[in-house]
Structures are given as C-alpha cells and as structure tokens.
Chain A
C-alpha cells in the first residue's frame, strides 16, 4: 500500500486535481456536503474529514436536478435533441465512507439493472473514481455494521481505491484499474509499506436484521404503522439526505418555444407523489407513505435485489425533525 502523511493532504488533492476533477467533503453555507475541490478553494470552504457529511454523495451519480434531453415545439412541430455530457474530465471522490459506498452499490442495482440500463447514470459511474475510506470514528447514530456493511473493506463493486486512516497517515490500496491509475498519480507523495488494517471502534447502535424482510412481508396490515406514522410531517428530509433514496420526478423547464426535460429528486413521503389524474391516490395518508418508505428499504428492495436499501449511515436519525427512527422501528418489528 502507498502510505502518505496527512500533512500532505493539500499536495495530494493538488496532485489528483492535475488529471481529475476532485470532489471532497466540505462545509459550505453551514452545510457539509461533497463539493468540487476547485469550488472549495474558491470559496475558502473547510474540508471535513473527521465526520460524515449531512448530504450524501449520491448527487454525483443522481443529481438533484439533471437535464435528460432538450426539445423545441412550435405549432404542430416538435424536435427532441440529446444534451451533451456535462462530464469533461474523469472525477475522483475522496473520501467516501463505507456506508455511502454501499449506498452507491444500491443505486447501481437500480440504474444498472440489465433490463434497462440508465445511460446517464452509467456514464457518471464510469467517469468517477471512488476512494473509499475505512471509517474508525463512527457517530453515536451510526449503525452500518448492523446493516451488513463491512467496516474494514468497502464494497468492491463500487470502491476503486481502499483508503485506511492510520492516525497521522493515510494508506491507499488500489482495487480496480481506475483505482490503480489514481494511486499512481499520488505515489510520489508517500512510500510503499505493508499496513495492517486498523482496529475499528464499535458502534453504539446495534440492530438485528436477520430474517427481517420475511418478517415484514407479513406485517403490511400490522398496527405498528399506526404509531410510526404519527410523528411524520411528510417533509421529505429523510429521502433527500438518504444515500439510497432514488425516486425521481420528471419535470420541464420551459422558456418560450424551447424546453429541457429534467429529472429531479422526489420522495414517496409527499402526498402528490402517487396522485393520479381524476383524483385517485393509492397512498392517501401518512400511514401508507411511512409504511411504503420503510418497507421499500427493509423488504421490497431486498426481495428484488437481495440487499437492504438502508446502509445504516444514520443521517435520518440525525436530521429528521420529528425523530422518526428507523432503528426503533426495526427493534419494534423484531419484538412483534
């Protein structure tokens, strides 16, 4: 592995910035999120490495708002044109914690499903090098280990480079060809060493998901939903900060005779989400919507793709204004 002193962080990012667009976690406008390194420098923002960001890195692959195609319409005529790619350079994102790496693995299941591969998503995945960081300072609200995330080794279908935090140094191990190229670009800043995988600090929250999807498949009509929907105000915060919530809406941006079709983040927590022309709404209340979100994460997605759509990153526990708590839900469901 290549071991580089943490004091050389700026050199490391500058070296990568020569051939990549570097994306780093940083604090801007009081919000921690993944930002281009150039913007960080320009805004004099602070790079945040000691804790996970409020916003997940999912926007790198599924932007909050993304053009799909442009159109021009006048009288009876219509033209539809492709939009050019907005990725000029290869991107590299450093560092992504294992919970968020797992989040990307979830998105891959949906957008790279071989029945309908999403071209725009695929391009972003191919043009991005993911440097995964083994995280040994979990927060009290983190529970990735319980959700099946390997804390020592990132999901290697996504991670191109595995990074270990050795205290005063980082160790880099390439996991893919893309990753190897990235490691080559920073090799000169450090030295080759044999490194033992560091010990990880245990997480406070432990939940048991053994047999949970099967159990929940029999709980659609259970009374548990009556109490869980009570606090939810349907604000959608949980979905927007979640690294795996991927539902999207399709919208227009129109100016005169021209327009762009956009896909934008959406949330099944919104009451208009399923509202049909004519007024029928199959999930008319909070109970139905909270139930759908939890069951999608813990049962439906598992049935379709054999993995949970929750990575235990803990963001919703930290940010839900009403403390709707997925861990508490799992524990109560298990106790039923």
Chain B
C-alpha cells in the first residue's frame, strides 16, 4: 500500500461524524427497529454500496457500526437489534432525535461479479439486515440480475424482521421466490417450521451464487448444505461483524489475520474465509 505524501492531503478528521436526524422509526420485531436517517437539511447522509457499513452514534452513550439495510433518495435505513448499552439507548429514541453518523465503510457486495446471475439469499434473524441492502438493490435493478431466491428463518414469528417485505413486497417481484421458516411451531403460523440449513436442503436451490448471513450456528450448518448442493467457495459470499471503533482500519480491533473487517470486509467469499484464521 502506498503511503500518502503529506503535501497532497487535505486536513480532515475521518472519525468525526456529521449530525443527522431520525426521520422515521419502524418496529420490525420485538427487539429490532429500523431507523431512517437523513441529514439536518433532509439529504441522504452518504450513498453506500449494498453491504457497506455506517457508524451510528449517540455521542453521550457511544458509537457502533451497523450495516445500511436500505437507502432512498434522501435517507439511509439501519435495522438495529437491542443487544447492548448503545442499542438499548437507541431503542428509546424518538423521531426527530439528532444523532451522529459517518460512513460509508467497508467493501460491499461484488456487484459486477453478481450481475446476470441467479442469487439465493440465506439469512437468519437480524442477519437479514445486511443481506436486505443487496436484495433491495437487485429489485431496483431487476433486469441486471437473474432469479432471486430468499430463504429466511427466525426463532419465532415475532422475531421475523421486515415482515412487510417478506410477505407483501418481495413475493410480488418478478422471478423472485421467498421462503420463510421459524424454528418451532407456533399458533397462527401455517408456514414452514424448521431450521434454515434443513430448509436449504429441502428447497435445493440451483447453485450459482449464495449470499449468507446469520448467527454462527446457522452459518456452520448451512455451509455443508450449500456445498452438498454444489456451491463453490467463490460463490458463497458472507458478511461478517466484529467490534469496530474507527471504521478505517486503524484502531486495530476488527482484524482477522492481516485483514480488517471494516476495511477489507465485511463481505468475504467462503474461499477467502477458508484462507483466514478462524478468529471471528
């Protein structure tokens, strides 16, 4: 990597966020909310590629990295699960709250490589959040991609995120099939019951590209299911999450071997993962 000549560089602090505001909050599930973020003058804070990340902060509490799950002309969306100190505080904020936002970070999904191909999206729980950015991109640019297959699972109906997309919007998209499963039977649910890896085997999608994101146990059992169906290492693509502080490969926290998830990731192919130490 080349090191910059000090004369060429404009002075800047990449770690200082801009002030944005929450323009809408959607309740996705019992513990997931989508926050719609604009700048104070109603513009889009930044234009991420599908799969890229943003650093979202309540400066009094803290700052953390989240995937941008969707974007519009003047907003970005982040779907956030209540899991810790910052996300607890985020779940208490209301529309109109001013927040810190910076990004985009990371590599995003390899759009050129995906173009024209059939894609199967596999997600579990909140893992649909990063995958959704690519699904939305494929839907907006429908002619550029082949058949879309979405396989999504959660513990219960209450834990399913983006229900409107799953049951209303996506099934109406041309050449797009949506399969939803929950872990255990539940009253009022007449859909599929069972774990995602088994459901993959049952559906047996034709191998071309698989985009997968979810809890480690889902990934662990889904990968053999995918290779059983003939998916190759370069065609299984995942997006990782580690603790991050800076987002630009300097604070040191999110390294896996010599790669930084915030800079070289978060999107990696299975081939790349197999070459990296298993420290994630």
Q: What is the bound-complex CA distance between A331 and B251, given in angstroms?
A: 29
Query: Is the Cβ of A78 less than 8 Å from the Cβ of B100?
Result: yes
Q: Which residues of A, 303-320, contact B by the 8 Å Cβ criterion?
A: 303-305
Q: Which residues of A, 262-314, contact B by the 8 Å Cβ criterion?
A: 263, 266, 268, 273-278, 282-283, 288, 292, 295-296, 299-301, 303-305
Q: Which residues of B, 1-60, contact A by the 8 Å Cβ criterion?
A: 1-4, 6, 9, 11-19, 58-60
Query: Is the Cβ of A79 less than 8 Å from the Cβ of B19?
Result: yes
* Given contacts A78-B59, A300-B257, A126 and B6 within 8 Å (CB-CB): yes
In the complex, which of the residues B98, B241, B253, B257 contacts A247, with contact meaning CB atoms closer than 8 Å? B253
Q: What is the bound-complex CA distance between A277 and B65, given in angstroms?
A: 11
Query: Is the Cβ of B13 less than 8 Å from the Cβ of A69?
Result: yes
Q: What is the bound-complex CA distance between A303 and B1, given in angstroms?
A: 10
Chain A CB within 8 A of B64 CB: yes
Q: Which residues of A contact B123 (CB under 8 A)?
A: none
Stretch with Cβ within 8 A of B (4 or more), from A5-13, A103-111, A197-205, A227-235: A103-111
Query: Is the Cβ of B249 less than 8 Å from the Cβ of A113?
Result: yes
In the complex, which of the residues A108, A123, A282 contacts B242, with contact meaning CB atoms closer than 8 Å? A282
Chain A CB within 8 A of B258 CB: yes
Chain B, 231-244, contact with A by CB distance < 8 Å: what is the 0/1 string? 00000000001110
The DSSP consensus for interface residues of chain B is: loop
Chain B CB within 8 A of A118 CB: yes
In the complex, which of the residues A68, A69, A119, A248 contacts B252, with contact meaning CB atoms closer than 8 Å? A248
Q: Which residues of B contact A292 (CB under 8 A)?
A: 255, 279
Stretch with Cβ within 8 A of B (4 or more), from A17-25, A27-35, A148-156, A249-257: A249-257
Chain A CB within 8 A of B248 CB: yes
Chain A CB within 8 A of B277 CB: yes
Chain B, 215-249, contact with A by CB distance < 8 Å: what is the 0/1 string? 00000000000000000000000000111011011
Nearest chain A residue, comparing its CB with the CB of B14: A116
Chain B, 247-280, contact with A by CB distance < 8 Å: what is the 0/1 string? 0111111111110000100000000000001011
Q: Which residues of A, 109-156, contact B by the 8 Å Cβ criterion?
A: 109-120, 122-123, 125-126
Query: Is the Cβ of B59 less than 8 Å from the Cβ of A252?
Result: yes
Q: For the side of the interface on B, what is the size category?
A: 35 or more
Chain A CB within 8 A of B96 CB: yes
In the complex, which of the residues B58, B64, B96, B258 contacts A304, with contact meaning CB atoms closer than 8 Å? B258
Query: Is the Cβ of A119 less than 8 Å from the Cβ of B11?
Result: yes
Chain A CB within 8 A of B85 CB: yes
Query: Is the Cβ of B16 less than 8 Å from the Cβ of A278?
Result: no
Query: What is the distance, in angstroms, from B251's C-beta to the closest C-beta of chain A?
Result: 5
* Given contacts A247-B251, A268-B252, A292-B255, A77 and B13 within 8 Å (CB-CB): no
The DSSP consensus for interface residues of chain A is: mixed
* Given contacts A80-B16, A113-B249, A277-B87, A122 and B6 within 8 Å (CB-CB): yes
Q: Which residues of A contact B241 (CB under 8 A)?
A: 276
Nearest chain A residue, comparing its CB with the CB of B241: A276
Chain A CB within 8 A of B198 CB: no
Query: What is the distance, in angstroms, from A68's C-beta to the closest C-beta of chain B?
Result: 6
In the complex, which of the residues B100, B242, B255 contacts A276, with contact meaning CB atoms closer than 8 Å? B242
Q: Which residues of A contact B257 (CB under 8 A)?
A: 220, 295, 300
* Given contacts A122-B6, A248-B250, A300-B258, A73 and B59 within 8 Å (CB-CB): yes
Chain B CB within 8 A of A82 CB: yes
Query: What is the distance, in angstroms, from A280's C-beta to the closest C-beta of chain B?
Result: 8
* Given contacts A266-B252, A300-B255, A118 and B14 within 8 Å (CB-CB): yes
Chain B CB within 8 A of A246 CB: yes
Q: Which residues of B contact A299 (CB under 8 A)?
A: 258
Q: Which residues of B contact A283 (CB under 8 A)?
A: 279
Q: Can you give 19 A-B contacts (C-beta < 8 A)?
A: A68-B15, A78-B98, A78-B99, A80-B16, A82-B13, A108-B3, A113-B1, A122-B9, A247-B252, A248-B250, A249-B251, A259-B59, A274-B253, A277-B84, A282-B279, A295-B257, A296-B255, A303-B258, A304-B258
Pairs of residues from A and B, 4 with the lowest C-beta to C-beta distance, nearest first:
A277-B84, A247-B252, A300-B258, A78-B98
| Beyond A109-B1, A116-B248, A248-B251, 12 additional pairs, beta carbon < 8 A | A82-B16, A112-B3, A114-B9, A115-B1, A115-B248, A118-B13, A248-B250, A261-B16, A278-B84, A282-B256, A283-B279, A303-B258
